[in-house]
A and B are shown apart, each in its own frame.
Chain A
């Protein structure tokens, strides 16, 4: 049997791989995707897609702990991390309880999903662009490193990403610090109008808009704005752009005005008329039942089918590297038939160009396991996440949380400024789901009322009705800087049942980010005092990610924003990929995904990563000509 050769072989059917695959397949080239997850997750005909998605929903309903990965199959042949496995690391031995081998000192508390569609199945869907100064943190504030790409260069690719994901938002309301006039293109609008802001947002804004916040000698003016999101809303009739297409003459992707006019929301993968609008299921994380929220299966579904082949249950295990040229000759993968059995065959996929899009940790792991990209010694390093610091209280009146998308507004005030010389920038989303994240409300409220307050009957009913609807949660997504010691490695002691490496993680939070927890606490105190919010925030010293800064204790959580593990840079000694997203050491190997981002800024990274995936696809197409 002759091995089939593809123009491009991609590892991973998540959003990064899907965007590259679609862009290249639609330009006329033959693409293969290797996907570790189950075939059932990618059957692209209506009925089976529906039934499989219903099985995710059913698994969610029946889960005791409704964590981000709870709806999706956890595969022994391609395991995913689970936040429930996060625990304090004590003594000198790593915590090997979950999929990650955690060396600490702090446990890494974010997850991802190894299933077709990837982590977009359980992402929240927030689609904020990064800020111009995020790309030059070193130059502007002497922190972290600069990107080899500027915001202005990336801007057209942000527009492609916003088209692909289907972003809802009001451009005129998106005013962030440190953005000039040209942050948005002239007359630019997003495909759909904003997702309506929640009642909580309105009540909270009434209390805090224009209030002065003092942090040391600095003063800030509080402001709340709507958040752009990758979920379906009312189309904006002023939006006229078609999906990006490859122009072989200009050698670039072009996003042109469509002759056909209005943008149409993309519905579910089983029925285009399901999910045309967000229906308020209030479960974006971990599953949108109607797929009004974007997921990468939608992108795969719109790729030219005749040019795209997807092999599922195929776990990439190593890259074949030509020792003389450094070029990649193939990708070896382990293919399993039965998800419950480690039995597998070993096969090789061959193409002209190879793209690894397996998510930050898995991509780094695969390259390390293959002995690839060693020159810079940056592979696997600089693992970053947003350190999520939560504060919560009871509003003076009912605001009716647990409704709508997870968050519909935020304060952008602390996303950029001179203060970044001293402490980490953060975005402050207003949460719509009460105290669910920090306290497991409303289950915990009910349990407390019944078991500790000894309530029953009408008294119980009135107590819940009178208190839980007043819950307010703020969160502070604090920037982490690239630190070489925060890293993914491998160790032959730790492998999964297919014999592939498990990620070994070292992780800590520096004082630069810890200082922001102190600032966030001060902001919370000032806001709560002004609005009359009863503060219930408390941080359990036994919680997995508990730390002390300036004598005060804080807990934080992971944001699921895994960034930096195969970063781009200016030369082969400071980074793994160049500005084209091509590995410095292997001419025909591109990496895509958040691992390419040199810094994380204060935006949820998926939109930026998607823009970079279009950018990478364009460079690949230039190679293929």
Chain B
């Protein structure tokens, strides 16, 4: 019998699909568990479990076909009034290291939590912001690439 994945693991797999990063790249930031906790802390365990379960089911169902999977993720998660704003926040959490306050419409329908405020999640979160990796850069004041490095293109173009 296949072992059932725990929600934190499901969250990591969903995060990989949403961000366009490999699971191992996300794990490499050391922040996956922290971000899962942050998400639960704002939207609650129940909603979080529901999202993770749904995404896990879609990933399993369409694992052979990337396009089909993306289409299903778009229809059932990104376009969902309930899950869309949450998914967009998961992306922004990974890319920016910040929690962005949920949109007003979502807050009035699904509730407000005291820590649903725009904030940098942690110093480490900022340092691991993925947006800079994608740009061939690094977060200002961290992961400095060394004297003169800016005079050349980055060693490896991420594309």
Contacts and interface: CB of A to CB of B under 8 A. Distances in A.
Interface residues on A, range: 35 or more
Nearest to B103: A451
Interface in B47-102: 70, 73-74, 78, 87-88, 91-92, 95-96, 98, 100
Given A62-B123, A451-B88, A462-B159, A198 B150 contact: yes
A29 B156 CA distance: 56
Interface string A172-204: 000000000000000000000000111100100
B137 A282 contact: yes
Given A281-B142, A282-B137, A443-B96, A459 B20 contact: yes
A454 B78 contact: yes
A436 to B, nearest CB: 8
Interface in A447-462: 447, 450-451, 454, 456-462
Nearest to B149: A280
Contact of B151 (A58, A197, A465): A197
B99 to A, nearest CB: 10
B143 to A, nearest CB: 9
B135 A456 contact: no
A469 B140 contact: no
A505 B25 CA distance: 51
B110 interface: no
A281 B143 CA distance: 7
B70 A457 contact: yes
A64 interface: yes
29 contacts: A60-B141, A61-B123, A62-B126, A199-B152, A199-B153, A279-B145, A280-B145, A280-B147, A281-B142, A282-B138, A282-B140, A400-B135, A400-B150, A402-B135, A404-B149, A433-B140, A442-B132, A447-B100, A450-B91, A451-B88, A456-B17, A456-B18, A457-B73, A458-B20, A461-B134, A462-B159, A464-B131, A465-B135, A468-B131
B144 A289 contact: yes
B40 interface: no
Contacts of B159: 462, 465-466
A410 to B, nearest CB: 16
Contacts of A458: 20
B31 interface: no
Contacts of B88: 450-451, 456
Contacts of B123: 58, 61-62
Given A61-B127, A198-B150, A280-B150, A402 B132 contact: yes
B150 A279 contact: no
Given A279-B147, A400-B153, A465-B159, A446 B96 contact: yes
Interface string A55-83: 00110111110100000000000000000
